[in-house]
Each structure stands twice: as structure tokens, then as C-alpha cells.
Amino acid sequence: MTATQLQVETFDKATASSEERLAAADLILACHALAYPEDPPLVRDHVAATLGDHLPDEMVLPFMVRVAGQVIGWAKLEFSLTQNLHVAHAHVMVHPQHRRTGVGRALAATLEQQARQHGRRLVTFMTSDRVPAAHPFAQSLGGEAALPMRQSQLVIEDVSAELLDRWCARPDADPYRLHVWTVLPEEYLARAADLMGVMNSAPKGDLDIDDWTITPEMIRGWEAMMVKEGEVCLTLAAEDPATGTLAGYTQLFWQSQRASLAFQGATAVRPEYRGAGLGKWLKAAALRELPAYCPGTRSIRTNNADVNAAMLAINVQMGFLPYAAVTEWQLKLA
């Protein structure tokens, strides 16, 4: 099939048949298996069931390219309806056997057109050197490498027990209380949402985006989506009992059917509470808690901006090693 014969179709999650969902999921599984052959495979049913899902204040526009019933290209454009109204985020995947045939370019052109129609002037997207063609493809689209990141991986059995003991040790008169949650309690929900806003202080590189406001409704929406995806989130938070303020937090994520691999999400401490070792305590305590919730985990993966020297230093001390180079790009639309 030539590029001029490619037809980009809208994927309607409300009317898509189970066969169409599974065909799209098969493409996503094939792309993931090629890029991460050592990882546990994605769960086909979970991928198919969650295609096009989004929060109430978001919009997701999915598209696909099919040949003889096989989905050979998949893409989606997603954006908030309440914040960062100038920005949309794009995802493009092409089946390994159909690359360099114009599928990716056709999907990218469709997403750019949709972004313009919805009044977005900036499109962001991610690449990884685990897909070597992704970086030059991003450059060919006119993308700007706005935030280079290091993806790191930690082999749990290689972590120093002495280091964890040292980071978990707190002074005798330590004022902080440690919470461990898989679902955020209602009484802490608003405080947790406020705490997550601290991630706005993380380096953004050259990204032309505004700060995000996290709401309790967004958190509950994320939790509902994770349940549908078979994912578990372990949150550890340090509370200052004198004020009830949540001073810092960290999160680990995993799927029960892919339990050997977990992902470290945000780790953040409020500026006024920094310098008390809370970040190291939270990360070490999370590693100590993890076996009780997911005993099969063997490794943890995380992303850090290259310019985020403080968090990179903590991860390096813990034993995280470079795994991949990840870049967040931005494409400015005239």
C-alpha cells in the first residue's frame, strides 16, 4: 500500500467491536514487545478495554490505519478541557512490519489537523531510544527536543540493605508520620491533591506549558482508570502532624499480571520541608513496603529530567542505572 492509499480512520470507542479493540491492542502489544523484549508482555484484554479512556475534563481523539482488518497504525491526541488550553499531547505507533511506508506521517498529519481544529497551538509527544527511528521522525516533523530525560532501572536484589536502613532511620524526636496507601483516604484526598501540585516545581526544560492544578476529582478518576487497567498504585506520604500538612510523597505503580516490573512515579517534597531527608526516606520506605503488596517485583523503572540533578543523585545513590534516553518534544503550530 502506498502513502496515497492510506486511510486514517477515527476510532470510536463507544461503537468499536471487541474485534476492532483487540486488533488495535495487538498493534500496541507488537510495538511494545519490539521496544522492550525483556519486559513482561502487556495484558491484551486490559489494553483493549481501556482504548480511548480519559478523565471527565479531558478529550481523547483516537485514530487508526487498517489493512485487511489488521491495525497497522494507531494514534491519539489528548488534551485538557480546563487547563493548558493551548496544549495537546500526541501518541503515534506503527506496526514494526509496516514502518517507513508513510503510516506514521499520515497519522501525525491527522493529529496536527485535529490539534489546530481544537485551537491548540502546541503539540507535545515522547520518544525513546528503545525505538531508534522515533528521534529522527520527531525531528522530521519539526519537533523541538524540549525536555531530555534519563530512564533508569533499579534491580531490587542489588539494592544495599545498609543504605535502606540508613535512609529509613529517623531522629528520636522525628515529627513526621508515614502513611502507606493503595487508595487515598477521603480525609486526605484534598491534601494529597494539593501536595501533588508540588510537581509543578520539577524542571520543565523548554516546554511551553503552564502549571497543572490537581483536583480530588482527577485523583479519583485516575484511580478508577487504574482499576480498569489492572494497575495498583502504592503511595507513601509523610505528614507533619502539627499542622496536618502532607510534606512529601512518592508512588510506585504496577500491574498484577506484570508484577515483575514496577514504575516509580512522582517523588516530591514541599520546598519548606526540604533538607530533612524526606525524599530519601520515602523512596527507601517504599522499597521496603513493596514486597508486602507485590512480592514478585524484581525491578523498578523511572524517568528523570536530565536537568533534575537532585533527584537523579538520589536515584544514582540508590542504585538506579541508565536504561534508556527519553525525550519530550514540542511542536509549535503556526
User: Does residue 126 fall inside a structural domain?
Assistant: no
User: Does residue 21 fall inside a structural domain?
Assistant: yes
- Domain harbouring 66, CATH code: 3.40.630.30
Cβ proximity of 302 and 320 under 8 Å: yes
Percent of the chain with pLDDT strictly greater than 90: 96
What are the angstrom distances between the C-alpha of 285 and each of 192, 246, 281? 18, 16, 6
DSSP string of 222-233?
A: HHHHHHHHTEEE
Torsion angles phi and psi, residue 248, rounded to 5? -165, 165
Sign, Cα dihedral of 36, 147, 124, 197: positive
Question: Going by C-beta distance under 8 Å and a sequence separation of 6 or more, which residues neighbour residue 305?
Answer: 147, 148, 149, 202, 203, 205
Q: Do 166 and 271 fall into the same domain?
A: yes
Q: Do 199 and 302 fall into the same domain?
A: yes
Q: Do 50 and 101 fall into the same domain?
A: yes
Number of domain units in the chain: 2
Residue at which a domain ends, from 120, 135, 168: 120
* Domain span holding position 238: 151-326
Task: Compute the mean pLDDT over every residue in the chain, rounded to the nearest whole number.
Answer: 96
Nearest partner of 31 among 93, 103, 108, judged by Cα: 93
pLDDT in tens, 192-241: 999 999 999 999 999 999 999 999 999 999 999 999 999 999 999 999 99
User: Does residue 209 fall inside a structural domain?
Assistant: yes
Q: Do 86 and 158 fall into the same domain?
A: no
Cα separation, 310 vs 83, in Å, equals: 28
Q: Do 160 and 276 fall into the same domain?
A: yes
pLDDT in tens, 297-325: 999 999 999 999 989 999 999 999 999 99
Q: Do 173 and 318 fall into the same domain?
A: yes
For residue 1, the model assigns a pLDDT of 43
User: Does residue 188 fall inside a structural domain?
Assistant: yes
Q: Do 75 and 163 fall into the same domain?
A: no
